[in-house]
Structure formats: C-alpha cells, structure tokens
Amino acid sequence: MGLIAQVGQWFDQRLQLAAPIREVTEHPVPRNTASWFYVFGSAALTVFILQLVTGILLALIYVPSASEAWSSLQALNHDVALGWFIRAMHGWGSNFMVAIVLIHMVQVFLFGAYKFPRELTWIIGVFLLLMTLGMAFTGQVLRFDQDAYWGLGIGASIASRVPIAGPMIVKLMLGGPIIAGATLSRFFALHVFVIPGMLIGFVCLHLLMVLKLGINEWPMPGRLVKKTTYVTEYHELTKRNGAPFVPYAVWKDLFFAAFILLAVAACALYFGPFGPTGRPDPTVIQTAPKPDYFFLWLYGLLSYLPPSMETPALLIGPVVAIAGLVLLPFLSGEGEKSWRRRPIAVLTVLLIAVTLGTLTHLAGFTPWSPHMNAWSGDPVPDKFLHGSTALQRQGALVFQAKQCRNCHSIGEGGGQRGPALDSVAVRLTQDQLIRQVIQGGGNMPAYGKNLSPAETTALVAFLESLHPRTQAPARDAARDMVLREGQAKRPDTQP
C-alpha cells in the first residue's frame, strides 16, 4: 500500500467521511439532467464562496466606522496592493450572484422543480433569494458613500410608513435617531455575521434536500406529477436510466463555475471597483443618489406610482410577492411540469422580466428626475431663435432663468420630467399656455407667484414660436371670432 493511501486510511478511520462523500458524489441522477440548464445552482454556490473569500479579504482593511469607512475604501482602491481588484471582484461578484440566483429561480420555476416533493427546497430557495438581496442592500450601505447615506434615508422613509410601528422600525434600523455611526455598525453586523451565517445554514439545507430528494428530472410534456406515484417513478428514472452525478453531470457544473469566476474577474479587471462616490457628508447636497443595479427597478417604480398608491404598494407589495412565492408549491404542487404546457407560467416570467427590465432601463436615465443644471448648462439651440423677435428672445431668457429647462427639453438638452417643448405651440393655444404657466397643473408647479406679467408675456411669446415651420401654431377659433367682433364694435364700447 502506497504512503498516500495509508495516510488517507489513517484519516478516514477517524473522520469516517469517505463513504458518505462517495455516496453523495456517485448518487445516480436522471441522464437528461446532465444539461447546461442545470448549472445555475452550483454557479450561485461558487459565486457565494467567492463572496465569502473576497469579503474576508476586504475585512482585513475595511473599518466599519462612519468616520473611517470611506477613507478605508479609498485606501483599498489606491494604497493597498490589488485592493482595487478584490473590491471589484466583491462588487461584481454581488451583481453576478443576484443575476445567477434569479436565473436559477426562473429555470426551477419553468421546469416545475418546485412541485412535489421539492416544495420545501423551493421555499428555502425563496429565503435564499431574499437573503441575497439583503446582502446586496447591506453591502451597498457598507460602501459608505453619498449613495449609501441617502439610500439609507430612502430605506428609512419607506420603513417609516409602516402604520404605528414605523418610527420604531426606523430607529431600530438606524440604531438611533439619525443615519450615523451606529447605523453603519449594525449594517456591518448584518452583512458580515447575521445574513452570511443564515445563508450558509440555508444553503446547506437547500443542498441536503437536493441530495435527499434527487435533482428534478427533465420535464416531459404530458408526464404529470402525482403525489401517490411520483417517488416510485423518479426512482425508476434514476435506477434504471440514471448515471452517477460524478463524473456524468458534474463536468458541466465545473466548466460553468470556472467560466463564471472568469467572467467576474474579467468584469473586475475591465470595469474596476464600484465607487465609493462622494464622502458621506450630509451637508453636501449637490448629489443625485442612485441605488445599485439590482434596486434600480424599485427606484423607477417609486417615481411612477401615484402618491396615493405608494404607501400601500410599498407595504403590501412585498408581502404579497413573498407570500405568492412561498405559496406557489402549495397552489400547484402537482400536475404538468413542462413549460411547453404551462403558458401562464411562461407569460408570468415574461411579464415580470419585461416589467423589471423596463423599469431598470428607465432608471438608467431617470426621465422623472429634473436635470438640476440644465437651466445653466444647456443653452437654447440656435435654430429656435432664428428670426425671433426681441420679446421672444426675452422669453427664451426667462425660460432658462426660471429653470423651466430643468424639467422640459428643447432640442437635445434639458430634463424629461415634463413634456418636450420643441413643438408646444402646436399643442397649446396662447390662453392655454398662459394658464399652464401661471396655474401649473398636470404635475407642473404653478409659476404665477414667480413670474411678473412682463416675464409671463415674454415667456409665452417664446413658447408660441416653438412649432415646426410646416405646422401653424394652435389657436382658439372662438377667441379669434370674439376679438374680431370686439374690434368691429369698438367705437361703441365704453372704456
């Protein structure tokens, strides 16, 4: 017997782990599960391990104190050798992890893997998703910069809307009355101890159940799940037509895991670390905070919900969504697994994907936010001033000086909060323009108290000139008639 084998035997006599490991690695899986569709779970685990490793490395330098955290991140980025790379790996790893967990979930949902007897595996998976999102949010807080500071304010504002308990939840979340040192410390505890601890525990449970219950077989249209017969049918699949997990299926997992790690490293190398943006100094208010990528959709949603619906949607929405995910295996625990025969399931996934994708895309350029510097930074393009009268030019000045530009675009520049005004004269008559400017309405503030009559007249004269050459400006036919009549009668009327 060779030396290595002898040492191995010495350890195994004491650890007694060889037999259970062999059982795990060689357990038979249905042949058609050795597919590229089945690699996302192991990829998520791989990225999670990467996050643990890079997280521990970052903790060697990072200081979880509101007064030092930002500087310690700067040191990681600029002073510590390869600190920037480890930060970038951790940041990109988090993006990849959320993405892979979501893809894994979609695959499991479309392949009907949440059905009997894997209901609990799915429910624990839902908790794992929530914890992954919790890690993403707390991680964003640990990057203690302006976005993190104001992001916490947004979190507190949402939490404060809970009836009765709201203010207490805010103080519990912030660790005090304001966002300060205690806030960062408790988010550090959550990000580094509490949530990872729970994640490790739940991941082990999740894996254990996959091993005990077996990997979901490739769904065949027409092969229905019945609680009475499923277990025997599955055993036949694995016993008669199965293959050992190692090496039959595992090689695809290995290749994909390595590919994902390479992809994370490539993104880290090419794009570098995330932030930190400006110092978390609440007296610096020249900032437009934005959440990290995976919460952009929420940022978009919060600006599109009507004010009256916002609080109910924020408080009830997550409860309904989580309850729906948890109850899913109980609502459809049996029956068809194949996505080819579950059109509603496919449409649901598409609807959610399109909704989240659209909101994320919109949050990329935030059409709902005023462009704070447009009034001083984006001039009115020349073409709108060609051949204009002195009054119209004065109006263009009013248009810039009164920050109309922050919400309304002309030409290329300006905000998109309100409608573009390139051809506003075609849509609104003079009277309507005056009323809109002075009284506001339709989500526009009233400018009556901030414009003198002369300024209003000039502004409206400029707005009336904004129409394509081929289209005449809108006019009120009735008003024209009244004015004409008035002119005809003028000699008789009293002053």
Partner 1 sequence: MLKENTISRRGLFMKMGILFNGLVATALAVPIAGFLLSSITRGRANGYLSWVPLGPVKDFPEGETRLATFRNPFVTPTDGKTVDTACWVRRVEGEQFQVFAINCAHLGCPVRWFPQSGLFMCPCHGGAYYRDGSRASGPPERGLFEYPYKVQDGMITIQAGELPTPGSPTASLLGKQPPCAARNDLAPRNDLISIDGSKLYASSETNALPGEKKPWA
- Judged by CB under 8 A, the chain residues 303 through 362 that form the site for partner 1 are 303, 305-308, 310-311
Which one of 247, 312, 357, 445 is in contact with partner 1 (CB under 8 A)? Answer: 445
Token pair recorded at residue 269: 């190398």
| Residues between 260 and 279 with contacts to partner 1, criterion CB under 8 A | 279
Contact 242, 28 (CB under 8 A): yes
Q: If binding means CB under 8 A, how many residues of this protein chain bind partner 1?
A: 87
Contact 279, 347 (CB under 8 A): no
| Residues between 135 and 174 with contacts to partner 1, criterion CB under 8 A | 149-150, 153-154, 156-162, 166-168, 170-172, 174
Contact 103, 40 (CB under 8 A): yes
Cis peptide leading into 117, omega within 30 of 0? Answer: yes
Which one of 389, 441, 468, 480 is in contact with partner 1 (CB under 8 A)? Answer: 441
| Residues between 207 and 246 with contacts to partner 1, criterion CB under 8 A | none
Residue 286 as a binder of partner 1 (CB under 8 A): the answer is yes
Which one of 57, 213, 345, 444 is in contact with partner 1 (CB under 8 A)? Answer: 444
Give the contacts of 196 (CB within 8 A, at least 6 positions apart): 52, 55, 135
Shortest reach from residue 442's CB to partner 1, in Å:
9
Residue 431 as a binder of partner 1 (CB under 8 A): the answer is yes
Shortest reach from residue 212's CB to partner 1, in Å:
29
Shortest reach from residue 482's CB to partner 1, in Å:
9
Token pair recorded at residue 119: 């209901």
Contact 145, 76 (CB under 8 A): no
| Residues between 49 and 78 with contacts to partner 1, criterion CB under 8 A | 65-68
Strand partners, 380: none
| Residues between 171 and 210 with contacts to partner 1, criterion CB under 8 A | 171-172, 174-185
Residue 370 as a binder of partner 1 (CB under 8 A): the answer is yes
Residue 495 as a binder of partner 1 (CB under 8 A): the answer is no
Cα angle, residue 166 at apex, residues 165 and 170 outer, rounded to 5°: 115
- Give the per-residue contact string, 382-421, with partner 1 (x = CB under 8 A; - = no): -------------------xxxx-xx---------x----
Please state, as a whole number, how many other Cβ atoms lie within 10 Å of the Cβ of residue 265.
16
Contact 148, 275 (CB under 8 A): no
- The nearer residue to partner 1, 154 or 224, going by C-beta atoms, is 154
- The nearer residue to partner 1, 87 or 417, going by C-beta atoms, is 417
Shortest reach from residue 284's CB to partner 1, in Å:
8
Stretch (H or E) spanning 243: strand 242-244
- The nearer residue to partner 1, 183 or 409, going by C-beta atoms, is 183
Stretch of 15-23, 187-195, 383-391, 456-464 lying at the interface with partner 1 (CB under 8 A):
456-464
- The nearer residue to partner 1, 184 or 268, going by C-beta atoms, is 184
Which one of 273, 375, 409, 428 is in contact with partner 1 (CB under 8 A)? Answer: 375
Residue ranges with strand state E in 22-118: 28-30
Cα angle, residue 144 at apex, residues 193 and 367 outer, rounded to 5°: 120
Strand partners, 243: 29
Cα angle, residue 436 at apex, residues 431 and 437 outer, rounded to 5°: 100
Please state, as a whole number, how many other Cβ atoms lie within 10 Å of the Cβ of residue 15.
10
Shortest reach from residue 161's CB to partner 1, in Å:
5
Which one of 287, 360, 388, 429 is in contact with partner 1 (CB under 8 A)? Answer: 287
Shortest reach from residue 450's CB to partner 1, in Å:
4
Residue 434 as a binder of partner 1 (CB under 8 A): the answer is yes
Q: What is the DSSP string of 403-419?
A: TGGGT--BTTBS-SSS-
Contact 147, 289 (CB under 8 A): yes
